[in-house]
Amino acid sequence: MSASTHSPVLKHHFEDLGQQHACERLGMWMFLATEILFFGGLFGAYTVYRLWYPHEFEFASSHLNRVFATVNTMFLITSSLTMTLAIRSAKLGDKGALVRNLLITAALATAFMVVKGFEYAEDFHEHLVPGPGFSADIGKEASDKGLDPGKVQLFLCFYYVMTGIHGIHIIIGIGCILWLVWEAWRGAIPPENYSTVEVVSLYWHLVDAIWLFLMPLLYLAGAGYGAHH
C-alpha cells in the first residue's frame, strides 16, 4: 500500500490521492458545463435580440459607464493571475504565499463588487432602469432618434440580469476563496492536496471568462454609436 493511501487528506472511498483528485476535477468540470449551458442561453437570447434591434441596443449600451467596466475587467484579469499563483504556492507547500495570493484574489473580487455597486448606484440615479422608473429624458431622446424606448429597456433587462447573476457568482467565489484561506491557514492544504485550490480556481477562471464575454457584449455594443448617429 502506497504512502499516499495513508494521507490524512485521502477520503475513505478513494483508493489513492490520484483517483481522488481526478474525481474532484471531473466533478467541477461537470458543474462548469452546466454553468456554460446556463450563461450560453443568456448569451444566445441576447444575441438574437441584438440582431433584431441593433440600433436600440447600441443606443442603450452607449449610456453605460465603460470606465467602471474597464476597471473591473482589470480587477478580474489580475485576480486570475493571483489565483494561478495560489495553485503554484499550494504545490510548493508555501503556506504564506498561498494565503497571501488567496487574500489578494478575494480583495480584487471584493473591489469588483464595490465598483459594480457604484455603477448600479449611478445607473439608478440616472434612471437607467427598465420599467416605471425609466428615464423620461432617455426615452424621449430615443424616440427623437426614431428608436423604440421599449426595446431600449429590453437591453437594460439583459444588462441587469446578466451582470446581476454574474455578481452572485462573484460573491460565491469570494466565499470559496475565503474558505480556502481558512483551510490553508490551519494547515489543511498540504502540497499533496493542492487540487483543492485547483478546483476552486477552475470555478474562478470561468467567472472571469464570463465577464470577458459580458464586457464587449454589453459595454462595447454602443462604443461607436455617437459617431454614426
pLDDT tens readout for residues 17-73: 656 667 767 878 999 999 999 999 999 999 999 999 999 999 999 999 999 999 999
The model's confidence at residue 5, banded by pLDDT at 50, 70 and 90, is: very low
pLDDT on residue 225: 58
pLDDT on residue 215: 96
Q: What is the pLDDT of residues 156-190, one digit of tens each?
A: 999 999 999 999 999 999 999 999 999 999 988 98
Out of 112-121, 182-191, 211-220, least confident range: 182-191
Total residues belonging to the chain: 229
Judge whether residue 191 has pLDDT over 60.
yes
- Measuring CA to CA, which residue among 197, 210, 221 is closest to residue 112? 210
Distance between CA 168 and CA 49 in Å, rounded?
Answer: 24
Global pTM value: 0.89
Judge whether residue 108 has pLDDT over 60.
yes
Q: Pick 132 or 36 by higher pLDDT.
A: 36
Nearest-5° Cα angle at 117, 131 to 177: 125
Domains of the chain: 17-220 (1.20.120.80)
